[in-house]
Amino acid sequence: MFRAGLLVALFALHTGRAFAQDAFATARREMVVRQILGREVRDSATLRAMLSVPRHEFVPDKRANAYADFPLPIGYGQTISQPYIVAFMTEQLGLTPRSRVLEVGTGSGYQAAVLAEIAAEVYTIEIVAPLAEEAAARLAHLGYGRVHVRTGDGYNGWPEAAPFDAIIVTAAAGFVPPPLVEQLRPGGRMVIPVGEVRAVQQLLLVEKAADGRTTTRTLIPVRFVPLTGRH
C-alpha cells in the first residue's frame, strides 16, 4: 500500500519533464514499484527520474528485456546496469536541481539521462569512442541537452568543468582515482565501485568535507565491468 501510494504521489507532484508515455510505460512503472521501491529506494527525485527515462531507447537490441531486473550487454564488452543499481547509486549522490554531475563511463547514456532528470548539468566520459558517439546522438535525440558527452579516459575526469557537486563512476576501479577526488566540490559526494575485476566489488560513498578532507563508507556489494585507460 505504501509503495503504491508513493507512486501515485510521484505522478501528482511531478512538475518537470513529462513521464514518458509509450508502449513500455506499464513495464517502467512495474520496474519502479517492484525493483526500486521494493528495495527501499525512497528519494522522490530518483523515483521520478526512473519513471521518466525510456530505458528501452538505450538498449535498442534488447528492448524486450529493457525493464528486467538484470544488466544487459550494449556491445564492446560493456553493459547497462540493472535498474536498481542505477537508482541506488543516483539516490546516494543526493542531487538537487542545481547540481553539476560528472559521470565516468557513459555506456549507452542511460545513467546520464537519469541524472539529467534531476541535476542542472551532466558531464559524462566514455573511453570507447563508438559508444560515446552513439550515446551522444541518442541523448540529443531524446532531448537531453544538459548532458555533455566526451570520448576519453575517465580517470582524469573533466578538469575544465570542475568542480562537481557529485561524481558517479560506473566501472570498477582498483582504487579511487585522485583526479576525481580533486574535482569533487567540498560538500560533494562520489559513488564508485572498487575491487578486483571478475570478483564482487564494494560500492563506496566518498564524501568531501568543507575543509577538503574525505571520508569513505562502504555501501553494498556490486559487480561492474573494469575501469580501463590510465587506471
pLDDT at 3: 55
Establish if 227 belongs to a structural domain. Answer: no
The whole domain housing 26 covers 2-222
Amino acid at 143: G
CA pair distance 134, 168, nearest whole angstrom: 20
pLDDT at 75: 93
The residue annotated as part of the active site, out of 44, 52, 81, 99, is 81
Establish if 32 belongs to a structural domain. Answer: yes
Establish if 231 belongs to a structural domain. Answer: no
Residue 81 annotated among the catalytic residues of the structure:
yes
CATH code assigned at 35: 3.40.50.150
Q: How many domains does the chain have?
A: 1
Q: Are 107 and 136 in contact (CB under 8 A)?
A: no
pLDDT 10s digits, 37-65? 999 999 999 999 999 999 999 998 888 99
Establish if 135 belongs to a structural domain. Answer: yes
Q: What is the DSSP letter of 64?
A: G
Establish if 185 belongs to a structural domain. Answer: yes
CA 192 to chain centre: 11
CA pair distance 174, 171, nearest whole angstrom: 10
Establish if 228 belongs to a structural domain. Answer: no
Amino acid at 219: L
Cis peptide before 163 (omega within 30 of 0): yes
CA 117 to chain centre: 11
Q: Record the cell numbers describing residue 18, joined without a space.
A: 513529462
Q: What is the DSSP letter of 143?
A: T
Listed as ranges, residues in the chain with pLDDT below 50 are 1, 12-16
pLDDT 10s digits, 137-160? 999 999 999 999 999 999 999 999
Establish if 163 belongs to a structural domain. Answer: yes
Q: What is the DSSP letter of 20?
A: P
Locate all alpha helices (DSSP H) within 106-162, ordered by sequence. Answer: 110-116, 129-141
Alpha-carbon separation of residue 177 from 110, 173, 192, 230 (angstroms): 23, 8, 10, 10
| Global pTM value | 0.91
DSSP per residue over 187-224, as a string? EEEEEEEES-TTS-EEEEEEEE-TTS-EEEEEEEEE--
Helix or strand run (H / E) with residue 176: none
